[in-house]
């Protein structure tokens, strides 16, 4: 992503400070300036860039307990396209996303599609209550330590990662629009092993 539209593009994270006149700032002042810049600009940009850099890379493997049933390991599904969505019981748009994914799973399950929903709830009982109340047809997993969401660089909810049969991340969505036609096209591309241009 670039800030400039001409041919001499500068990267968006290329921050340049104007030279200061007079006294040279102390290390503490310089550190404060850089820390403020990192916190205000770098945090979200870095998380977004980290998540985007997963595309084309092997998905980080994980093993998590299911809210209903036994533990599940991502690598068990190698050879099948997998959708991993991250959610929380506090997130109202996540509920809509989980329902839409349940419909997609119902349509494409017989073709080999796997859907895993990873809860990042701090309160396991609240996530458990949500799971019992909504019971989608795919597993709801609990990431109490947030280690899986960190490994996927998840910075907002809901976020959905689409992984191909060889375990490579192909698509990433940070929205609740799984009823969008782009989701269907991408799922079909994963099922057909045609991930180049869905």
**Which domains are assigned to the chain?**
63-191 (3.40.30.10)
Cα 59 from chain centroid (whole Å): 11
Going by pLDDT thresholds of 50, 70 and 90, the confidence category of residue 156 is: very high
Which distant-in-sequence residues (6+ apart) come within 8 Å of 57 by Cβ? 168, 169
- The structure's pTM equals 0.73
In this prediction, residues 40-52 reach a mean pLDDT of 49
Determine if the peptide bond prior to 169 is cis (ω within 30°): no
Query: Which is it for strands 72-73 and 140-142: parallel, antiparallel or unpaired?
Result: unpaired
More confident residue, 120 or 23: 120
**pLDDT greater than 80 at residue 33:** no
Q: pLDDT exceeding 70 applies to what percent of the chain?
A: 71
Query: How far is 62 from 167, CA to CA, in rounded Å?
Result: 12
For residue 131, the surrounding DSSP H or E stretch is helix 124-134
**pLDDT greater than 70 at residue 149:** yes
Per-residue model confidence (pLDDT) at position 173: 92
Cα 127 from chain centroid (whole Å): 19
What pLDDT, in 10s, does the model give residues 83-114? Answer: 999 999 988 889 889 999 999 999 999 999 99
């Amino acid at each position: 992503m670039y800030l400039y539209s001409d041919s001499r593009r500068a990267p968006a994270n290329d921050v340049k400070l104007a030279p200061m006149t007079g006294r040279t700032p102390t290390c503490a002042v310089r550190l404060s300036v850089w820390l403020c810049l990192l916190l205000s600009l770098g945090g979200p940009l870095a998380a977004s860039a980290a998540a985007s850099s997963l595309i084309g890379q092997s998905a980080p493997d994980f093993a998590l307990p299911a809210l209903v049933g036994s533990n599940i390991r991502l690598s068990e599904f190698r050879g099948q396209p997998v959708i991993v969505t991250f959610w929380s019981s506090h997130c109202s748009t996540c509920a809509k996303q989980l329902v839409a994914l349940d419909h997609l799973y119902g349509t494409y399950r017989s073709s080999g599609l796997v859907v895993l929903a990873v809860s990042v709830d701090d309160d396991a009982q609240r996530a458990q209550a949500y799971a019992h109340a909504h019971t989608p047809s795919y597993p709801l997993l609990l990431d109490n330590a947030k280690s899986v969401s960190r490994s996927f660089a998840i910075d907002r909810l809901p976020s959905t990662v689409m992984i191909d049969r060889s375990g490579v991340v192909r698509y990433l969505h940070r929205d609740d629009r799984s009823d969008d036609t782009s989701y269907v096209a991408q799922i079909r591309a994963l099922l057909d092993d045609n991930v180049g241009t869905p």
